[in-house]
Amino acid sequence: MNNQSYVVGIVGASGAVGQELVRLMHERNFPLSRLRLFASARSAGKKLTVGDETIEIEEAKPGVFADVDVAFFAAGGSVTRALAENAVAAGCLVIDKSSALRMRDDIPLVVPEINPEKLTGHKGIIANPNCSTAVMLMGLWPLHQLFGVKRIIVSTFQSVSGSGAEAVRELESQVLASVHGDPIKRKVYAPYQIAYNCIPQVDTFGEDGYTGEETKMAQESRKIMGLPDLKVSATCVRVPVVRAHSVSVCAEFERPVDLAQAREAIAAFPGAELVDEPAERKYPTPLDFAEKVKCGVGRLRIDTAMDNALSFWVTGDNLWKGAALNAVQNAELMIERGWLKPKAAN
């Protein structure tokens, strides 16, 4: 980090990802001169404690970004579409978590361990990938660098925090209702209950039978990895886990695979932690990788259904690497390399 400090805005500060951004700003000692928190009109006026400071939430609306150097958007696609260009016009860098702009050709979609060079090509907006895509790539990318991936078949096991704080409360309330014999209320995942269940739908279905989440995994993986012809088939499942997504991956490669080399590549990759001792029952789980910077990779084995293929398991915090942390890491990297200057220095 340089010795400059920045005015940072968080749009959607009252939501699950926004709360994690606030926390990470403090815990990672981001070079702040001021932190401004924005949310909808109904949350404006509420106060959040950040370290020793109490900050009042402001309404997110046009015209509030004049002094903001970098704004993290974590309030959904409609807010991004309404306010991102206004922030850019005010000279603010926008790092956006929503899916609204990810696939636009003029907007870089960046995972800093994979394609940091794309950060230099932004025109005011940098997109953050989908949570399940980011977690999966922490295992797939180092293997691609060794063997050249050409096809992946993936199944996700996605925590309820990916649906927001209300979904977490719903899971907890359904478990308690079941224990006490009370009626189980269904709202977020209606008509299904999520407690003690798995729901093979994340997002809405398209005409091809794939959900939006499954389509995002395919499209975003191709863009981030620079592999427009990568073949991807995904099945995304919501499971009764509070925090951290897991992904089962079967990957076919261009070149013959070597298991020892694969493990070495995972262990050396900055975004991954190798946890792969099946004889000792050691492999990544959501509880172990909630609130961890790295994603866990394990269960590496030669696939028996395809040639030159590996099967493996990745687990990572969907609110961190899948959302807030990846956005903060992008900003940190831009500051470290001198690509982001505070307005006060100009």
Residues in binding site for phosphate: 102
Residues at the binding site are 14-17, 42-43, 102, 158, 161-162, 238, 318
What is the CA angle 252-255-261, rounded to 5? 90
Q: How far apart are CA 96 and CA 114, in angstroms?
A: 18
Q: Positive or negative, the Cα torsion across 41, 49, 135, 125?
A: positive
Q: How far apart are CA 340 and CA 152, in angstroms?
A: 36
Contact 56, 47 (CB under 8 A): yes
Token pair, residue 346, equals 């100009």
| Cis omega (within 30 of 0) for bond into 31 | no
User: Which letter does DSSP use for residue 320 in this model?
Assistant: I
**Beta-ladder partners of 126:** 95
For 318, what's the count of Cα atoms within 13 Å in the CB-facing half-sphere?
Answer: 25
Contact 170, 194 (CB under 8 A): yes
Closest CA to 57 of 30, 31, 37, 32: 37
Residues at the binding site for NADP(+) are 14-17, 42-43, 161-162, 318
Residues at the binding site for substrate are 158, 238
Strands 149-158 and 231-238: parallel
User: What do you get for the CA distance between the two ends of the chain, in Å?
Assistant: 18
Q: 3-state DSSP call for residue 257?
A: coil
Query: Catalytic residue numbers?
Result: 131, 245
Closest CA to 62 of 46, 80, 82, 42: 82
Closest CA to 131 of 104, 161, 106, 101: 161
Which amino acid would we find at residue 208?
Answer: D
For 8, what's the count of Cα atoms within 13 Å in the CB-facing half-sphere?
Answer: 28
What is the Cα Rg of the chain in Å?
Answer: 20
